[in-house]
């Protein structure tokens, strides 16, 4: 009965997409779905409307209310325009920045956004060519705009596209703006969308923005003299077919690095990502061509970015000269350590500096920060929450770095989203600085573990596609809440945090307390007697439930590194077995 009722609702919704208000191609595709005996595809594309998650609007491209197309993009844009016109009604001219990545339809969607915004009397500054997320965030602040939109699905597979909305501080929107925008979007009908552009309000952004961005990025450097001495460090860089190739090699050279080696096959700008299955530096396969190029050329480092160049991945040589790929936690640990250490050496720490990490990111970053007198704040997953802390403390404290385990880091406050460009510059600088101190970057990581404690992290994503998958994920989270884990890999659970209700249970003390967070979030965390941490959360942008595992150990010396790694790997395998993943 329930399925019959859903099908009726879906069919009625699909029928509205057959009107003359939709283009002929769209109408034909919808009709084909209605005519098909298999109604599953019809249900998938119409059973709900796309919603803003941790990364904004994101979905598979195609016809339907649950797909990315000019009509769902149009409704989102009209709703956003209505909200901007109300929020900034006292301004003579409201303006926005529009950027796009390499994905199929990104440029088309960007033009749709600019047309609709201009039709609503809002000036749209549009990048003339594809550019990375951090530069879009930068441009919002640089041009004193009230909002920004980036057309991208970040690291998602090629079938996806997305729509990131930025506020006037250059950060992605958070409550109440995100929910208010959705409220406006939900009130928009096809008749309300103003598709006819006012060309006089559409302004192109050229390469002068690149020059300004790179000039500001150079101010983030902490060891320019080290780079000068070791400017020929071999750095292989791949944009994995995306936007990073437009600016990262140029930025690295501007900062003094002279030996930048490209991967020609992956310099090809393409939304089909022809050389990889997944355009994500978190996936070792996506970095394989870069590693091979580094082996062939004798390079010391491998850098990679995802299609919109907010995520940064790095590979370094180990003590045997073999390449290993660092995970996002390790990269962040090294960046935080380096920034704090250098600022200390340069006498730049005043006591007002702070760092930020997300709740699923390695707590070792907190240990490094706090042992050096730098407070670290904790926030939800998603860089918009890091930016929220920055907004709150602006003018009161000095932000010097923050990030998340999913390969995102930000070293400066003139951008308010994860920034692979500054991360690449600083990571190259770390290699030069370490070299000047007689060690490799790999040995530097080991030394951090010796000084601050060893931490091993692993992220596992369980994919559950479509409507049925979403129901399975809901059932899994419900089960974890109703049947809480009592023991993990032989260690008793002593603390459970449930961010959906903002409650924590201290099982050791038999106490319950409130979690101080800005809003609720569907995340569960378990902490054990031996300092293991497990975080469980459904993704806000993909059909996945994610498990974040962090285990601790002691490392007495570099010589013990291999043995400790093996021991913690075995422990993580046991944890996965206990969790059934």
Chain centroid offset of residue 100 CA: 16
Name the nearest CA neighbour of 381 among 402, 365, 366, 361. 361
Long-range (24+ apart) CB contacts under 8 A made by 173-181 are 173/52, 173/56, 173/384, 174/384, 174/385, 174/387, 174/388, 174/518, 175/518, 175/519, 177/83, 178/52, 180/83, 181/52, 181/76, 181/79, 181/80, 181/83
**Going by C-beta distance under 8 Å and a sequence separation of 6 or more, which residues neighbour residue 293?**
236, 238, 261, 263, 299, 302
Cα gap 545→404, rounded to integer Å: 17
**Going by C-beta distance under 8 Å and a sequence separation of 6 or more, which residues neighbour residue 192?**
78
φ, ψ for residue 403, nearest 5 deg: -175, -170
Read off the tokens for 506: 């201290």
Q: Out of 65, 118, 137, 154, which one is annotated catalytic? A: 154
User: Longest C-alpha distance within the chain, in Å?
Assistant: 73
Establish whether 535 is a catalytic residue: no
φ, ψ for residue 65, nearest 5 deg: -70, -20
Read off the tokens for 399: 């932000």
Quote helix, strand, coil % in the chain, to nearest 5: 40, 20, 35
Name the nearest CA neighbour of 460 among 526, 406, 402. 406
Chain centroid offset of residue 149 CA: 15
As annotated, the active-site residues are 154
């Amino acid at each position: 009965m329930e399925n019959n009722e859903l099908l009726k609702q879906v069919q009625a919704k699909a029928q509205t997409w057959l009107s003359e208000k939709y283009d002929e191609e769209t109408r034909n595709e919808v009709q084909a779905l209605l005519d098909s005996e298999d109604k599953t595809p019809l249900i998938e594309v119409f059973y709900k409307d796309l919603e803003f998650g941790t990364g904004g609007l994101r979905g598979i491209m195609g016809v339907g209310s649950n797909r990315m197309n000019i009509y769902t993009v149009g409704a989102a844009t009209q709703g956003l325009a209505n909200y901007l016109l109300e929020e900034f009604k006292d301004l003579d001219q409201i303006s926005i920045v529009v950027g796009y990545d390499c994905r199929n339809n990104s440029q088309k969607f960007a033009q749709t956004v600019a047309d609709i915004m201009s039709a609503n009397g809002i000036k749209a500054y549009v990048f003339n060519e594809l550019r990375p997320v951090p530069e879009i965030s930068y441009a919002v602040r640089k041009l004193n705009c009230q909002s920004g939109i980036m057309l991208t699905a970040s690291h998602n597979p090629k079938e996806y596209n997305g729509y990131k909305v930025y506020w006037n501080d250059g950060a992605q929107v958070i409550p109440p703006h995100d929910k208010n925008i959705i409220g406006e979007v939900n009130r928009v009908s096809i008749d309300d969308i103003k598709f006819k552009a006012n060309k006089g309000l559409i302004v192109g952004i050229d390469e002068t923005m690149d020059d300004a961005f790179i000039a500001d990025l150079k101010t983030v450097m902490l060891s320019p003299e080290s780079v000068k001495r070791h400017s020929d460090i071999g750095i292989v860089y791949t944009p994995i077919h995306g936007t990073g190739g437009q600016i990262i090699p140029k930025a690295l050279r501007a900062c003094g690095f002279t030996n930048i080696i490209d991967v020609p096959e992956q310099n090809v700008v393409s939304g089909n990502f022809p050389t990889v299955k997944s355009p994500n530096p978190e996936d070792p396969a996506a970095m394989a061509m870069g590693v091979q190029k580094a082996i062939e050329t004798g390079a010391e480092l491998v850098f990679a970015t995802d299609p919109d160049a907010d995520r940064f991945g790095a590979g370094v040589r180990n003590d045997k000269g073999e390449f290993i790929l660092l995970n996002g936690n390790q990269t962040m640990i090294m960046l935080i350590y380096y920034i704090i250490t250098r600022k200390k050496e340069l006498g730049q720490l005043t006591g007002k500096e702070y760092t930020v990490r997300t709740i699923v990111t390695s707590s070792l970053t907190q240990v490094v920060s706090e042992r050096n007198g730098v407070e670290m704040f904790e926030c939800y997953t998603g860089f918009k929450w890091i930016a929220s802390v920055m907004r709150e403390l602006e003018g009161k404290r000095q932000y010097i770095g923050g990030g998340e385990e999913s390969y995102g880091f930000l070293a400066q406050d003139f951008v308010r989203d994860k920034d692979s460009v500054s991360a690449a510059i600083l990571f190259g600088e770390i290699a030069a600085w370490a070299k000047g101190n007689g060690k490799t970057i790999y040995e530097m990581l080991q030394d951090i573990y010796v000084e601050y404690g060893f931490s091993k992290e692993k992220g596992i994503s369980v994919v559950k596609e479509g409507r049925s998958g979403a129901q399975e994920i809901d059932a899994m989270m419900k089960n974890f809440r109703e049947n809480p884990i009592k023991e993990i890999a032989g260690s008793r659970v002593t603390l459970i945090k449930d961010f959906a209700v903002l409650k924590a249970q201290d099982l050791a003390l038999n106490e319950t307390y409130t979690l101080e967070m800005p809003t609720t979030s569907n995340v569960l965390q378990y902490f054990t007697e031996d300092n293991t941490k497990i975080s469980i959360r459904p993704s806000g942008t993909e059909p996945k439930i994610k498990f974040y595992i962090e285990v601790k150990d002691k490392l007495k010396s570099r010589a013990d590194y291999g043995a400790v790694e093996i021991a913690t790997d075995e422990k993580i395998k046991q944890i996965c077995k206990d969790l059934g993943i």
